[in-house]
A and B are shown apart, each in its own frame.
Chain A
Amino acid sequence: MIDFIQMIVSGIAVGSSYALMGLAMVIIYKTSEVPNFAQGEMALISSFFAMMLLTSFHLSVYLAFFFTLVFAVLLGCFLEFAILRRAKEPNVLGMIVITIGIEMILLGFVSWKFGAEQKTMPFPIGPYDSLIIRDIFISKLEVLTLVAALLLMIVLFLFFKFTKLGLAMKATQQNRVAAQIVGIRTNRILMITWGISSLVGAVAGLLISPTIMHPYMMWDPMLKGFAAAVMGGMTSLPGAVVAAYLLGIIENLFGGYVSIEFKTVVAFVIIVLVLCIRPSGLFARHYVKKV
């Protein structure tokens, strides 16, 4: 029984970083219908930026993280403004290839600038500090990830629900033309979307970096986040979050009871199943356009 609960708790903890990556992907997908494969590497470069501030410039942790988040927002805005917006006659396939290109460039840049070996992030909480509550282990980092993820989700929820900008973003997501004719600058909205998404990804990157820190650190979380986003229907923020936690838990249970070797494969088996059985995702609720 303890094993079972332990697995679920670790699953939830792992799920938090998937949830953040999933959210980041969904935020962009909703506005532009482009699955952003550069998401992981945008988070990667933000994490390395934080490391650089901490080790080379000796900034305090809070300051460094603050600047990192600012950097992440600017990076997202810049990529949208400088690259994606310039695409002539954009179609979804072309945009996807562009994001893959951005991914390669960022990955190459990080490997070249910082080297491909494992780094240590001078994070205030080490990866092995843990709490034991009634025989259940949970690392402090995991708790922090969970709290940060939940906080960010609440903030995003409030933002989309109650601010005019959030409403304008939702409007742009749902109908670009209609948004233009009420006077929304849809280009700018798209840029802000990339900024916010990059920020969410960077938070995930920062929280992953104490455990693993090398140019490929974001591969796994990014793919799992993508899996969660697909499971959640690609356009639903809560859907992606719930799917991410579900994925984390299922993965851990599978690893514990069936086969540890195939643990990471589970996510992709689930994607295939979901796409076969409910292609619109587990949690999507959508209206078909009336003519």
Chain B
Amino acid sequence: MTALLEVKNIETYYDLVYAIRGASFAVEEGSITAILGNNGAGKSTILKTIMALIKDQPEKGVIEFDGVPIQNRDTDEIVRKGIAYVPEGREIFEELTVHEHLLMGAYLRKDTPGVKQDIEKVFAYFPVLKQRTHQWAGTLSGGEQQMLAIGRALMLRPRLMILDEPSLGLSPILVKEIFAIIREINLTGTTILLVEQNANMALSISGTGLILENGRFVMKGNSTDLLEDKDVKEFYLGIKSETSAKGYQRWKRKKAWR
């Protein structure tokens, strides 16, 4: 397998904050790769760096898509190469209708019949959206907006789809649904890079898992192995129980990995 996206030793500053401190990883073509980590680890920053949404960053390092370096370009150029991005917190256009959203998702495409077909495809993935075709996106529920954001990204017919916390603020059932669809999208040949807090869900659908801590990767492995890993389990539970000498139940916070 070849790497579709390769990030080599990037360093990113978020204003004055040294957020990404030399991170490297690769996303295999056709795979689902998940980046995990707790708040402030720099997960979203990595994705934003790839999408060139942080001005003049990365400070150092190389990002290669399909063997071609793409760092320090404009966002639209990166999108043009076939990378679709579903941002954290959805970032929809409040006063455009669902239909208009999907048209905007296909902004770079010129093939009208293909676009029409793909709109139907998105509606097949997310039947709720079809009922809301002519409704302003601002009036949709959070879950529907997330579906819309994914649908909009699909309209690009991307080779790589990057998702930033697709489970944010959704009910457990919806999370399950969304992840099932992400897997389906992957089966049709789209490579997926995913950032998540919901470690269980993310590891259950991904092939490779990476754990980020303070702007550095601290662990990498097969997702199935990571799911069983004692440290990972403990870390994501956040606390661990132990029994004291007198037989009282005690709860202890797990220290950070460093």
B76 touches A177 (CB 8 A): no
Contact of A180 among B75, B92, B100 (CB under 8 A): B75
| Number of A-B residue pairs having CB atoms within 8 Å of each other in the complex | 77
Q: Hey, what's the 0/1 contact readout for A154-180 against B, CB within 8 Å counting as 1?
A: 000000000010011011001101111
A184 to B103, CA, bound (A): 12
Q: Which of B69-90 contact A (CB under 8 A)?
A: 74-76, 79-80, 84-85, 87, 89
Residues of the B chain whose Cβ atoms lie less than 8 Å from the Cβ of A183: 75-76, 79-80, 107-108, 156
Chain A residues near B169: list those with CB within 8 A.
291
**CB-CB contacts of B76-117 with A at 8 A, as 1s and 0s?**
100110001101010111111000100111011000000000
Selected from A167, A178, A185, A291, the residue in CB contact (under 8 A) with B92 is: A178
Interface residues on B, range: 20 to 34
Contact A164 B91 (CB under 8 A): no
Q: Pick the residue among A171, A185, A289 that contacts B96 (CB under 8 A).
A: A171
B152 at the interface (CB under 8 A from A): yes
- A168, closest chain B residue (CB): B107
**Quick check: is A112 within 8 A (CB to CB) of the other chain?**
no
Judge if A113 is at the interface, Cβ distance under 8 Å. no
Interface size class of A (residues with CB under 8 A): 20 to 34
List, in ascending order, chain A residues with CB within 8 A of B105's CB: 182
Q: A185 to B107, alpha carbons, bound, how many Å?
A: 10
Contact B94 A168 (CB under 8 A): no
Q: Find out whether the CB atom of B94 lies under 8 angstroms from the CB atom of A184.
A: no
Contact partners of B84 in chain A: CB under 8 A: 181
Known contacts being A168-B107, A183-B79, A183-B107, is A178 close to B87, with CB within 8 Å?
yes
A287 proximal to B (CB < 8 A): yes
Whether B136 sits at the interface, judged by CB under 8 Å, is yes
Q: Smallest distance from the beta carbon of B65 to chain A beta carbons, Å?
A: 15
Query: What is B's interface to A at a CB cutoff of 8 Å?
Result: 51, 53, 74-76, 79-80, 84-85, 87, 89, 91-96, 100, 103-105, 107-108, 136, 138-139, 142, 145, 152, 156, 169
